[in-house]
Amino acid sequence: MLRQTNRFRALPARLGAHPPIRVMRRGFLSPMPVLALVFNALVWGLSWWPFRQFQQGGLHPLWTTVIMYTLSWLVILLRYPGALRELRRRPALWLVLLAAGTTNTAFNWGVSIGDVVRVVLLFYLMPLWAVLLARLILKEPLSGWSLARVVLALGGAAAILLPEGGGFPLPSGLADWLGLLGGATFALNNVMLRRESASSSPESRALAMFSGGVVVAGGAALAMAGQGLVAWPVLPAPAWLLPLAGMALLFFLSNLSLQYGASRLPANVTAVVMLTEVPAAALSALWLGGGSLDARTAVGGLCILAAALLAAVERRR
């Protein structure tokens, strides 16, 4: 799932972070920031379908990720050349690079080869990893709310991963592992963005995240192609060029939309609106044959979503 974590300057994890600014008028939220976040969530929630189309055409999702993020990386680098110098000087941003790159690589690959519903729900175990990483890196105390999130997220994951014939709930294949890995590194990306928000520029954080999409996905693709596990990329047919460019543009605009929306809304509102990615991915997958939904997955998904909503409530408190 060049999926990347903020997503440009306040990206809750597909791109950068700074304190949210409340934009309210007579008690109501301004609609434009909300619509911007919904657009961002819809792009990511529906991204599995074009990735699969490119894969069927012979372009592995890892190579698709590299191409898309290279275009975005060039835009940021040309617009803010000083961001590269800052990225080189701050080792903490290298961890952002690795976390964001792994997030996008795992998510894009996972939704391309597995059940989209399962992968997206496992990816959104992020509240579980966020609690643990915030404790480890930011030294945040464990509250009753955070422990409730852990219990709900673990229960949801167990319901989704429980084998049909019984047994210990473990990932059943590569797609499940990629969903879990993407969610964990998404949480790490968010935690690191919070830590670096006061000591680095939004442009350097954005460049780090786009660089991660190129470096991590490209490194994985090269390593696997060398072992014969992934086909070497073939120059896209002319008919592919416009869809590829359009997809790259959509992802770039979605990152800008996240920056715009997340910087103008309270963090708890941003967290709730971003959850629209889950039904967008699930409903489109069920409609287009990219996934399935049984009772256990539905129950597990509700628990995971409840954990994410608890995170929003805790932020507001």
25 pLDDT band (50/70/90 cuts)? very low
What b/e readout covers 164-181, taking b as 16+ CB neighbours within 10 angstroms? eeeeebebeeebbbbbbb
CA–CA dist 237, 16 (Å, integer) = 35
Who wins on pLDDT, 317 or 98?
A: 98
Who wins on pLDDT, 203 or 12?
A: 203
Who wins on pLDDT, 130 or 223?
A: 223
Predicted confidence at residue 11, as pLDDT, reads 40
Average pLDDT over residues 61-83: 89
Q: Out of 124-133, 180-189, 225-234, give the one with best mean pLDDT.
A: 180-189
Q: Is the dihedral of CA 173, 177, 178, 183 positive or negative?
A: positive
Predicted confidence at residue 263, as pLDDT, reads 64
Structure tokens at 260: 């715009």
- pTM, entire model: 0.81
- pLDDT of residue 112 exceeding 50, the answer is yes
Structure tokens at 185: 């590194």
CA–CA dist 20, 110 (Å, integer) = 31
Candidates 23, 243, 134; CA nearest to 142 is 134
Decide if 52 contacts 112 (C-beta within 8 A). yes
- pLDDT of residue 196 exceeding 70, the answer is yes
Q: Which range among 99-113, 142-156, 219-233 shows the weakest confidence by mean pLDDT?
A: 142-156
Predicted confidence at residue 1, as pLDDT, reads 46
Average pLDDT over residues 209-237: 85
Mean pLDDT of the chain: 80
98 pLDDT band (50/70/90 cuts)? very high
Who wins on pLDDT, 137 or 266?
A: 137
317 pLDDT band (50/70/90 cuts)? low
Predicted confidence at residue 110, as pLDDT, reads 94
Decide if 68 contacts 255 (C-beta within 8 A). no
Give 237's DSSP letter: P
3-state secondary structure of 282: helix
Predicted confidence at residue 129, as pLDDT, reads 82
Predicted confidence at residue 51, as pLDDT, reads 92
Predicted confidence at residue 166, as pLDDT, reads 65
Cβ-Cβ contacts under 8 Å for 226 (sequence gap 6 or more): none
Predicted confidence at residue 102, as pLDDT, reads 94
Who wins on pLDDT, 193 or 29?
A: 193
Average pLDDT over residues 57-69: 89
Average pLDDT over residues 144-163: 83
Structure tokens at 284: 């489109």
